Structures are given as C-alpha cells and as structure tokens.
C-alpha cells in the first residue's frame, strides 16, 4: 500500500495525525486527568474521606441498585426484541425498529419529563398510582423507569445486525434435528451472539450508572434517598465540595475506563463475533 494511489503525502498524513492527537488530548485525556488530579489534590486521606459521607454512600448504593434492576430488565427486553426483529417477519416490524431507537433520538430530559407527566401528582396515571399507596416520581421506581427507558436500545441495537446476518438456517437445522424452539434459542441463538450480548450489557450498564438528564428530572434530589452518583456529583460541586465531587467522579470515570478496556479486550479476542456488528 505504501506510495499507492490511496496514500496521501507525508505532510498530509502527519498533519491529520497531529490534529487527531491534539483533539484527543484536549477533549478526552485532559478532562480525565483533571478528574483524578482534582480528586487527589488534597491527598489520598481527604479523597478517601469523601466516601465516608453517608449521602455519598447512599448515592453509590442507589446507582448500583438501579443498574442491577435496569440492566437485567433490558437484557430480557433487548434479547427478545432482537430475536423477534431479526428472526421473524411480522407486520409493523419497521415501526418497531424505529421505536427501539426512540430513546436515542429523544433528549434524556424529555424522557424524564414523560414519566413526570405520566406518574406525577397531576399526571395521567399519578392519582391511580397514589391510591395504591405507591410512589413513582421522586422515588426509586421513577429512577429505575427512566433508566430502563434511556438504556433500552443498547442491547437490542448490538444484537439485531449480528442476528440478522447469521440468519435462521442454524435454528432451522436445530429444529429439524428435534430441538424445541426454546432449546434452539438456548443452544444455538444465544451462544452465537454471546460476545455481542456481553458487549451490549457493558454499554447498557455504563449508561445506566452514568445517566444524568432523565434521572435528574424524576429523582427530586432527595439527599440519601433519591440521588444517584451523577446527581450526587452535581450537588457536591454546587456546594463547592470539589474534592468530594471529583472523588465520586473518579468512580464514574473508572467505570468508563473499565468498560472501554473490556470492550477492547472483547474486540481483540472475539473480533469475529463483534466486528460485524460495527457495520450498522
């Protein structure tokens, strides 16, 4: 390929590479470094102390709880949706595919507002829910609902192209060999998409833990009760508790790095099963 028609001259290549590196440093590496330096500015002791705050601990617990509910739910929704869309023909399929992308195209704040309008005190279903003595808005169920909505597309989007490309021949082979539909799903469909599925779960989890907009609208910011980690960061920051804010941020940044690392590992190790999903 060297000196081929598709190779630009050396100055062009270096300029492009230089621009990319400067951009990466400025917008990705620098902020990430800032998070860690700010968090550790007054030493490891103060950094660790930030996590002793009961409200911060409550926020971490709530975030883990929300992700622990939202991710499995979306695992089930995502897999069943992808299965239906990729392996079967039915009327309204393209509408369903468009709907899957809705959470991506709608601003998270609007997603949150929708739930307030539905389940809020003056909302459509609000009084009904109130009668049952159940609280959704400004409570944990609302946060879970908003998170499920926002993170819904990740797993389905990851699986649909791969399942579609794999077609239905292997499933048909399993059926002719006597396997039931469910057995076929467990022994053929699921194993064939396992790495893409894991990848989707990682992305879904990262977003579930990091979601700010939608959760902010429905949470009500009740300290120690309805604050997730991103909301806690905002509160600490607004109170000029910079070390606290950045300390919690390091957890979220760490999560991002772990996700990124796992993603690279998956792509490197099981590129076959994933690379195709990149060709959306």
Partner 1 sequence: MAIAIRAEGLAKSFGGTVAVSGLDLAVEPGELLALLGPSGSGKTTFLRLVAGLESPTAGRILFGDEDATHLSVQDRRVGFVFQHYALFRHLTVAENIAYGLRVRPRRERPSDADIKRRVADLLDLVQLPGLDRRRPAQLSGGQRQRVALARALAVEPRVLLLDEPFGALDAKVRRDLRRWLREVHERTGHTTLFVTHDQEEALELADRVAIFDKGGVEQVGTPDDILDRPATPFVAGFVGEAVRVPVDAAGSWIRIGDHQVRTPGENAAGPAELFVRPGDLVPATDPATAIPARVIAVRRGGAARRAELLLTEGLPAVEIDLPAGHCARKGDVLPVSLATIRLFTSR
Positions in the binding site for partner 1 (CB under 8 A): 169-170, 172-180, 183, 187-188, 191-192, 194, 272
Tell me whether residue 171 or residue 211 sits nearer to partner 1 (CB atom).
171
Tokens 């048909």 sit at which residue? 172
- Minimum distance, C-beta of residue 167 to partner 1, in the bound complex (Å): 8
CB–CB of 274/266 below 8 Å? yes
- Minimum distance, C-beta of residue 170 to partner 1, in the bound complex (Å): 5
179: Cβ contacts below 8 Å, ≥ 6 apart: 187, 188
Tell me whether residue 106 or residue 175 sits nearer to partner 1 (CB atom).
175
* Terminal Cα distance for the chain, rounded: 27
- Minimum distance, C-beta of residue 280 to partner 1, in the bound complex (Å): 22
Count of all residues that appear for the chain in the document: 280
Tell me whether residue 61 or residue 194 sits nearer to partner 1 (CB atom).
194
Tell me whether residue 41 or residue 194 sits nearer to partner 1 (CB atom).
194
- Minimum distance, C-beta of residue 174 to partner 1, in the bound complex (Å): 7
Tell me whether residue 143 or residue 174 sits nearer to partner 1 (CB atom).
174
Q: Take residue 46 and report the two structure tokens written for it.
A: 């103060």
- Minimum distance, C-beta of residue 158 to partner 1, in the bound complex (Å): 18
Tell me whether residue 162 or residue 243 sits nearer to partner 1 (CB atom).
162
- Minimum distance, C-beta of residue 195 to partner 1, in the bound complex (Å): 10
Tell me whether residue 182 or residue 240 sits nearer to partner 1 (CB atom).
182
- Minimum distance, C-beta of residue 165 to partner 1, in the bound complex (Å): 12
Tell me whether residue 3 or residue 272 sits nearer to partner 1 (CB atom).
272
- Minimum distance, C-beta of residue 178 to partner 1, in the bound complex (Å): 5
- HEC letters along the chain: CCCCCCCCCHHHHHHHHHHHHHHHHHHHHHHHHHHHHHHHCCHHHHHHHHHHCHHHHHHHHHHHHHHHHHHHHHHHHHHHHHHHHHHCCCCCHHHHHHHHCHHHHCCHHHHHHHHHHHHCCCCCCHHHHHHCCCCCCCCHHHHHHHHHHHHHHHHHHHHHHHHHHHCCHHHHHHHHCCCCHHHHHHHHHHHHCHHHHHHHHHHHHHHHHHCCHHHHHHHCCCCCCCCCHHHHHHHHHHCCCHHHHHHHHHHHHHHHHHHHHHHHHHHHHCHHHHHHHHCC
For residues 144 and 148, what is the distance between their CA atoms, to the nearest angstrom?
6
């Amino acid at each position: 390929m060297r000196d081929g028609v598709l190779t630009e001259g050396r100055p062009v290549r270096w300029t492009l590479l230089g621009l990319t590196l400067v951009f990466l440093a400025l917008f990705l590496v620098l902020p990430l470094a800032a998070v860690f330096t700010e968090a550790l500015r007054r030493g490891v002791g103060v950094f660790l102390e930030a996590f002793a705050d009961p409200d911060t601990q409550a926020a971490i617990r709530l975030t883990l709880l929300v992700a622990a509910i939202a991710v499995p739910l979306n695992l089930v929704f995502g897999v069943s949706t992808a299965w239906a869309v990729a392996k079967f023909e039915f009327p309204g399929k393209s509408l369903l595919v468009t709907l899957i992308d809705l959470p991506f195209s709608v601003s998270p704040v609007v997603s949150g507002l929708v739930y307030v309008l539905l389940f809020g005190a003056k909302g459509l279903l609000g009084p009904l829910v109130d009668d049952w003595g159940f609280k959704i808005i400004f409570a944990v169920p609302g946060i879970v609902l908003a998170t499920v909505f926002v993170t819904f597309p990740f797993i389905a989007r990851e699986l649909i192209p791969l399942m579609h490309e794999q077609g239905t021949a292997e499933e048909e082979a399993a059926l002719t060999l006597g396997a039931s539909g469910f057995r076929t799903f467990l022994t053929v469909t699921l194993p064939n998409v396992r790495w893409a599925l894991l990848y989707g779960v990682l992305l879904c989890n990262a977003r579930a833990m990091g979601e700010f907009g939608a959760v902010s609208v429905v949470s009500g910011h009740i300290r120690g009760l309805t604050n997730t980690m991103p909301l806690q960061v905002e509160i600490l920051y607004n109170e000029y508790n910079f070390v606290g804010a950045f300390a919690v941020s390091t957890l979220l940044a760490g999560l991002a790095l772990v996700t990124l690392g796992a993603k690279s590992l998956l792509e490197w190790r099981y590129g076959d099963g994933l690379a195709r999903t990149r060709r959306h």
